[in-house]
Structure 1
Amino acid sequence: MPLPRLHLDAASVCTCATPLILLALVVAGTTAGAADAALAFDFTPGAAAPGHVQVTPGTLYSRERGHGFEPGATVTAMSRSGSDALHDGFVTSPTPFHFTVRLPREGNYRVTVTLGDAAGASTTTIKAELRRLMVETVKIPQGDHTRVSFIVNTRTPRIQQTGTIAAGEVRLKAPRESTQEAWAWDDALTLEFADAQPALCAVVIEPVQVPTVFLLGDSTVCDQMREPYASWGQMITRWFKPVVAVANHGESGETYRDSIGRRRLDKILSVMQPGDWLIMQFGHNDQKQIAAKSGAPFTTYKEELKRHVDGARARGGIPVIVSPMERRGFDDAGQVRPSLIEYADAARQAAQELQVAFIDLNAMSKVLYAALGPEKSTVAFATPGGKVDNTHHNNYGSYQLAKCIVQAIREQRLPLGLWIVDDFTPFNPAQPDDPATFTVPASGEFTNQRPLGDEPNATTR
């Protein structure tokens, strides 16, 4: 569970201009070196491998230590004989557990994890920060080990002066973002390990310069903090190779206007590099925010959307507009009832006028819901307290929507498609994955607190 540890002082945000920023990490009587140095950890009850820091079940995270397990972890260390120091021990747990490392600066990091058990089979799923799916269901036979790599983006609220962008901070929503969602904004990288029999041997974290795919959106895009809620922004990370980062700047309850007013767009533009991408999906909350204005989807909404496109292009970025997926609702004939069609049409018009790539998630979501049907479609939505939330999705539903977007990227031959993982198979929303065989494990924390913003107004028969 995210703890209220978001520190906005200069030391924690690390805005120092010197190229050698020392990490405040004291291990075995030594301090870590320059900011570009790799941080390596060995989860063994025996001697750590050369160049690695030993981590035992009693190593709990603190800012002073700079690394460790988050409180509440029920981790057991297992020892295995062998000549390979990285394979002679590991940690495991019957429930999801989190390991956090404080970092010298925000940015993109390559994480390489060694998994496996010399004496038994293992199955591990890895998420990062706020439940971003990075590695799905790695099954390793007894005696084998494997290494998996992925890229994690980290950030702080600080905005540095960049061109016409003034210095300052993102206007975070308190207490939501400063406490419950603190892992998305702090100066540390948090990894979650789970599944039937995880076997974590080692972790190496190193800064990298790679292209970044920035995401902006509402509660259906942002990193949802707890089960049963999830978004496609948390699942799309699964489908990119470890040569690109996904930076999710979406937030619950927000709109294109909020993105500007709370300086989320400024934050993105302040760190965007030429060739980076900006994928945007708003509409659910814009519908309420500007509802009183006649024709607002085709005026105000499009104008605010254009500011995002213009900002990304000015920084050499590549914008992509995504139409908002539908809410779950069916008429008496069992057909999906549209509730956001004007915003989907306005997004399409804006994309055409601005000559920007467009992904019609609204249309694909309706195909997906229709394929599941009025009753079975509930399996794609969160059900806190046993009541179906007809707007917000669960792990299964968000996983399907993420695959819709990846499929559209590939079909449209966007250059972004070069970074899609090799094991992504063509996806047809009319033939969704069988929910009975869906295997992404839930994270440990649950909530009945509904995401901010859009209220349920879709009804089902």
Structure 2
Amino acid sequence: MKKIALLLNVLLVATICVAQKQTYKFDFSSDKKVKEGYLKVTPQTLFNNEQGYGYDLQPAWDGKSNKPFFFSVNVPDGNYKVTVVIGSKNEPSSTTVRGESRRLFIENLSTKKGELKTETFTINKRNIKISGKERVRIKSREKNKLNWDDKLTLEFNGESPRLNSLIIEPVENVPTVYLCGNSTVVDYDNEPWGAWGQMIPRFFTDKVCIANHAESGLSANTFISGNRLKKIMSQIKKGDYLLVEFGHNDQKQKQPGTGAYFSFVYNLKIFIDEARAKGANPVLVTPTCRRRFDKEGKSVNTHGEYPDAIRWVAQKENVPLIELNGMTTMLCDALGVDGSMKLYVHYPAGTFPGQTREFKDNSHFSTYGAYETAKCVVEGMKKAKLDIVNYLRADYKGFNPAQPDKFETFKWNLCPFTEIEKPDGN
């Protein structure tokens, strides 16, 4: 009887979990008649846990305002296909869609008056729970990050954002690319910071999902000890990818047993072995360059032996390698001593609310620099012949780091939130 009762409990829990992973359909249009099977959203539809969905973080959208707005839905961990119908019957629009901690999916999509366009993408949602009492040990500064809560949050931004309808449905059959790294990879919630991990989803169709687990200040060993790799291993499946980029913070470890060819390569091997044990594909990435030049105006390597150690492990373990260090160095050299400041967070005091001091950071990317670096990663994926490059969006035309996009043509819609505190790590 005890075994039967236990089995019934397991089945009940499983049934509840499946029931929670449901499809949501929301009607944001101005039509009085609600679309069949949809939930009508009005300015009074504000998020609360009892309802489980609604406008969040900022004032509700009234259907006319050009200010950015956020919409959240409580969903379990997993991948979700999002279908948005963008546009308005009454006016032209220009809409950018980001998700969770400012992950970019749809960029400056324009519609004419009366025109509606349908776009889809796949987004990963997670929280800190692993199993039982196990949790990811996040930092204090992460506790309010949209990446780590129980909600799936979408940001609708742009010159004139217009949303007609929204569908969120669970998906299981797409390859997921899990990102491990530091402040050069992480999803930043707030302006003016950016990293390549939050930009790269924009270049893929809904046939690929990017799950960015990177965090500022982490090294290979602290990523592991903080249960972040364990969280990924609790979700990763056969055919998924594990991209690993470390080096910035690892090189500052000076205690006995540390070093590029000691603890660092040992920890990289853990990432490789764990991924392969799950049938996933490990990929190593050399660290992005810091902005530093010699007297002749050429970029200087500040990572010591660490890029070479990564290359050595990749060759020894027969793991694909993305040569991001070389490509970002090429980016800096192409833009020169002055122009390369645009790649990083260099802004005079007063550029952002509460910013009393000049930003002068040569390690952390601006949103423009993050965007360009994400393109470098895509090119690295293509060179490594990863299968996921078959699912690049049709408007991705390739990229040469020696010929970067002009800063003046980069159009980024600022989110309402800024952060004056510099990210951890350097």
- For normalisation by structure 1, the TM-score amounts to 0.85
One-letter amino acid matched to 2:182: D
Could you tell me how far 1:204 is from its partner in structure 2? 0.6
Q: Structure 1 16/70 Cα, relative in aligned 2: closer, same or farther at 3 Å?
A: farther
Q: How does 1:305-454 map to 2 (within 5 A)?
A: 305-383=268-346, 385=349, 386-454=358-426
Partner of 1:3: none
Aligned equivalents of 2:223, 2:27: Cα separation in 1: 41
Give the stretch that moved more between structures: 373-382 or 408-417.
Answer: 408-417
**Are positions 1:177 and 2:162 aligned together?**
no
Q: Structure 1 365/150 Cα, relative in aligned 2: closer, same or farther at 3 Å?
A: same
Partner of 2:104: 133
Q: Which residue of 187, 204, 209 maps to 1:223?
A: 187
Could you tell me how far 1:411 is from its partner in structure 2? 2.4
Give the stretch that moved more between structures: 426-435 or 136-145.
Answer: 136-145
User: Is the Cα–Cα contact under 8 Å of residues 44 and 201 in structure 1 kept in the other structure?
Assistant: yes
Partner of 1:5: none
Q: How does 1:265-304 map to 2 (within 5 A)?
A: 265-289=229-253, 291-293=254-256, 296-304=259-267
Say which SS state the counterpart of residue 445 (structure 1) adopts: coil
Partner of 1:81: none
Aligned equivalents of 2:341, 2:389: Cα separation in 1: 31
Runs of at least 5 residues in structure 2 that lack an aligned partner in the other structure: 1-9, 350-357
Runs of at least 5 residues in structure 1 that lack an aligned partner in the other structure: 1-14, 23-32, 78-91, 162-166, 455-461
Q: Which residue of 14, 20, 34 maps to 1:19?
A: 14
Q: Which residue of 158, 162, 171 maps to 1:208?
A: 171
CA deviation vs aligned residue, 1:317-353 (integer Å, no higher than 9, x gap): 1000000011111122111121014111111111011
Q: Structure 1 242/191 Cα, relative in aligned 2: closer, same or farther at 3 Å?
A: same
One-letter amino acid matched to 1:133: L
Aligned equivalents of 1:391, 1:285: Cα separation in 2: 11
CA deviation vs aligned residue, 1:148-199 (integer Å, no higher than 9, x gap): 11001011111137xxxxx61111112x1212x1x11111100001111111
Q: How does 1:77-156 map to 2 (within 5 A)?
A: 77=63, 92-103=64-75, 105-156=76-127
Say which SS state the counterpart of residue 16 (structure 2) adopts: coil
Partner of 2:6: none
CA deviation vs aligned residue, 1:40-86 (integer Å, no higher than 9, x gap): 11113433211111111222211112111114326222xxxxxxxxx
Q: Structure 1 18/449 Cα, relative in aligned 2: closer, same or farther at 3 Å?
A: same
Aligned equivalents of 1:381, 1:93: Cα separation in 2: 32
Tell me the C-alpha RMSD between the 2 structures. Answer: 1.8
Q: Runs ≥4 in structure 1, deviation > 6 angstroms?
A: none
Aligned equivalents of 1:72, 1:101: Cα separation in 2: 15
Could you tell me how far 1:108 is from its partner in structure 2? 0.3
Q: Which residue of 148, 157, 168 maps to 2:134?
A: 168
Aligned equivalents of 1:327, 1:293: Cα separation in 2: 26
User: Is the Cα–Cα contact under 8 Å of residues 60 and 71 in structure 1 kept in the other structure?
Assistant: no
Could you tell me how far 1:294 is from its partner in structure 2? 7.6
Could you tell me how far 1:380 is from its partner in structure 2? 1.1
Aligned equivalents of 2:213, 2:57: Cα separation in 1: 26
Partner of 2:40: 54
- For normalisation by structure 2, the TM-score amounts to 0.91
